[in-house]
A and B are shown apart, each in its own frame.
Chain A
Amino acid sequence: MSSPRQFFTSRWGPIVTGVFIGVIAPILVKLGNPGNMGICVVCFNRDIAGALGLHRAAVVQYIRPEIIGFVLGSLIAALIYREFKPRTGSAPAARFFLGMFAVIGALVFLGCPWRAYLRLSGGDWNAIPGILGLLAGIGIGIVFLRMGFSLSRNRNAPKALGWVLPIFMVVLLLLLVFKVQFGRDASGNPTGPIFFSEKGPGSMHAPILISLVVAIVIGFLAQRSRFCTVGAIRDLILLRDAHLFVGVLALILAAFVTNLVLGQFHSGFANQPVSHTNWLWNFMGMALAGLAFTLAGGCPGRQLFLSGEGDGDSAMFVLGMIVGAGFSHNFNAASSPKGPAVFGPAMVIVGLIVCVVIGLTMREPVEG
């Protein structure tokens, strides 16, 4: 029906992408990534923030090659298919703060939408209130979209701007490979940053080359298929369009089967990896994340893929995610397996207020 060029933009694109991610993510767990965290865009940005010293939670510090690969894979696809289009000017500052609060909400739940689906497929039923919260947040975002919410138009930018985030990712890759130690302790001995966790989730990772290569493939596929874990639900409700949604279903099913095959499916609420059992704040954290992602036009993965296409506004969102992860840990807002942190709930409320104000006030300016 469709030529090879068009295959991934056909209805099969999101399905193939979803299946690939669903199979690969549990395999990455098998190869060393944390439980039910084969891929978590938010958690991995948080680990990068920790490695750079933007927070000092010693158990979550690692430069995750998956994030680097997502951007570079998308860049390669965009260059090959002539979709590399540097652009910016669509409320970058608002997008930065949306990125920050999306991460703050997601770290109260302990996972982005990708990980929420992967947790579900691994039998972690705490994902259910998280996914319900995600639906609620997306639903609120849809109300704002129907009311005319807009972060206004972007415009073409100098070619160089499109390379900012890809080059930043290459620098991160070099820092990961060479493990440079910039800090000095009182005795003058080298210390981080770059920090690498010696225990906890940050110390658990698949081999760098494998993570990088599969992430480049995912970035490539997702750029072609426009895979988006938030747009999937948004388009289903707002446009009655299941094009992306079937991709998410494919991801969940493929991950479920792969977890079963690998013996990684363990159902229940208690003692799930990097997960807590507080229903209310699992729901509320993801409600904030879902709202922020919807206002910004896509899930955290999609923001990375768009950055690879040269979208400078998505790059601002990504940088906001990394900075927000630093704030989240420094301000004692990120949950732990014991439950929400002291200031997690308050930060979620602040984030919801900020997002609602953005949703109510931002409209496309009238020309003239």
Chain B
Amino acid sequence: MSDIVTVDVRGLSCPQPALQTKQTIKKLDSGIVEVLVDTKTSRDNVSRLAGKAGWDVTVEEPPEGGFKLTLKK
């Protein structure tokens, strides 16, 4: 269960960032999921979706740009 699942949705249009995140966390009861997004819109959409599903969300801004969201449950 210590495996980190990464979802890279950078450059995808709505609703694919949120949809791919949803499809990934639906398969997991718990764990750590890293979601890479490149716009504030996707950051907010994915955060809202994961938060509602009961996952803790932390956001980092990596130096290469975009956002890294870490979802934990």
Report A's interface with B, CB cutoff 8 A.
Answer: 9, 83, 85, 87, 89-90, 145-146, 150-155, 226, 228, 231, 234-235, 238-239, 241, 243, 296-298, 313, 364
Contact = CB atoms under 8 A, between A and B. Distances in A.
B39 A235 contact: no
Interface of B: 10-16, 18-19, 22, 38-41, 44, 48-49, 52
Contacts, number: 53
A172 B29 CA distance: 53
A310 to B, nearest CB: 11
A85 B39 contact: yes
28 contacts: A9-B40, A9-B44, A83-B39, A83-B40, A85-B39, A145-B19, A150-B12, A150-B16, A152-B11, A154-B13, A226-B41, A228-B14, A231-B14, A235-B15, A238-B15, A239-B15, A239-B18, A239-B49, A241-B48, A241-B49, A241-B52, A243-B48, A296-B13, A297-B13, A297-B14, A298-B13, A298-B14, A313-B13
Contacts of B48: 241, 243
The SS class assigned to the A binding surface is: loop
Nearest to A298: B14
The SS class assigned to the B binding surface is: helix
A253 to B, nearest CB: 23
A367 B18 CA distance: 21
Given A83-B40, A243-B48, A145 B16 contact: yes
A94 to B, nearest CB: 12
A151 B13 contact: yes
B23 to A, nearest CB: 9
Contacts of A226: 41, 44
Nearest to B14: A297
Nearest to A234: B15
A90 B11 contact: yes
A318 to B, nearest CB: 15
Nearest to A223: B41
Contacts of A297: 13-15
Q: Identify the interface centre among B14, B19, B44: most chain A CB within 10 Å of its CB.
A: B14
A364 B41 CA distance: 21
B33 to A, nearest CB: 16
Given A9-B44, A150-B16, A153-B12, A239 B22 contact: yes
A9 B48 CA distance: 11
B36 to A, nearest CB: 12
Contacts of A231: 14-15
Q: 5 closest A-B pairs (Cβ-Cβ)?
A: A153-B11, A297-B13, A154-B11, A297-B14, A9-B44
Nearest to B13: A297
Nearest to A150: B16
B32 to A, nearest CB: 22
Contacts of A146: 19
Q: Identify the interface centre among B10, B13, B16, B44: most chain A CB within 10 Å of its CB.
A: B13
Given A89-B11, A145-B15, A226-B41, 11 more contacts: A145-B16, A152-B11, A154-B11, A231-B14, A231-B15, A234-B15, A239-B15, A239-B49, A241-B18, A243-B48, A298-B14
Nearest to A82: B40
Given A153-B10, A243-B48, A297-B13, A238 B40 contact: no
A155 B11 contact: yes
A143 to B, nearest CB: 13
B19 A238 contact: yes
Given A238-B19, A239-B49, A90 B13 contact: yes
B10 to A, nearest CB: 7
A317 to B, nearest CB: 11
B18 to A, nearest CB: 6
